[in-house]
Chains A and B, each alone.
Chain A
């Protein structure tokens, strides 16, 4: 049990729709990262937020966006969903940047039809 929660657990959307995924970090963790994990692959870094500002982005288009709130919660928003967006979305929180251990939530399984 990492103390990181995500909602919803599963989600089915249609191509072209928009989706919001939510994450609640451990109390005191000021850094949250989001990852996309396609079936059978390792997770891919989407972006990271540190003290409510984006602090790094992987190779994902602008239709992937995020927010981090002062209460240690955060959101991942995806616009104009595509079939390839079907994946497990993981959030991870940590005490800070650089060498801190990251704690992962259980993930949200998104299916785009």
Chain B
């Protein structure tokens, strides 16, 4: 059974800092990994999708890497801003049917 863990559970940083969010998964047989952002009480916004054959994806100030063999992914946020404050979730898809298994999320607070 796939298990996804995110560390840290919560993070508070001053504005402008570069930061790294971590995601680990127990079964390396995945199709893809997605990083999502969730604002309080809202749905999920997809940030980056990394296919199992890829090593990283970039979008603006965000960079996500994937090391499938070690079961790890990181989300790097450059020059953080207060608007980046949200919960960040990673999820892996590992079987036919594209069921996503989520981690518990990292709650990020960026202070002005």
Contacts and interface: CB of A to CB of B under 8 A. Distances in A.
B49 interface: yes
Interface string B68-112: 000000000000000000000101010111111111110000000
Nearest to A100: B98
Contact of A109 (B4, B41, B102): B41
Interface stretch (A13-21, A39-47, A61-69, A70-78): A39-47
Nearest to A56: B97
Contacts of B100: 33, 35, 43, 45, 92, 102
Given A41-B104, A42-B89, A101-B34, A90 B99 contact: no
A19 to B, nearest CB: 18
Interface in B37-52: 41-46, 49, 51-52
Given A44-B102, A45-B99, A55-B97, A107 B42 contact: yes
B9 to A, nearest CB: 9
A34 to B, nearest CB: 11
A104 B52 CA distance: 21
A44 B97 CA distance: 15
B42 A45 contact: no
B93 A99 contact: yes
Given A97-B97, A109-B41, A102 B34 contact: yes
A100 B52 CA distance: 12
Contact of B99 (A33, A96, A99): A33
Contacts of B49: 101
Interface of A: 2, 6, 31, 33, 35, 41-45, 48, 50, 55-56, 58, 88, 90, 92, 94, 96-107, 109
Given A96-B98, A99-B52, 4 more contacts: A43-B44, A98-B93, A99-B98, A109-B41
Interface of B: 4, 31-32, 34, 36, 41-46, 49, 51-52, 89, 91, 93, 95-105
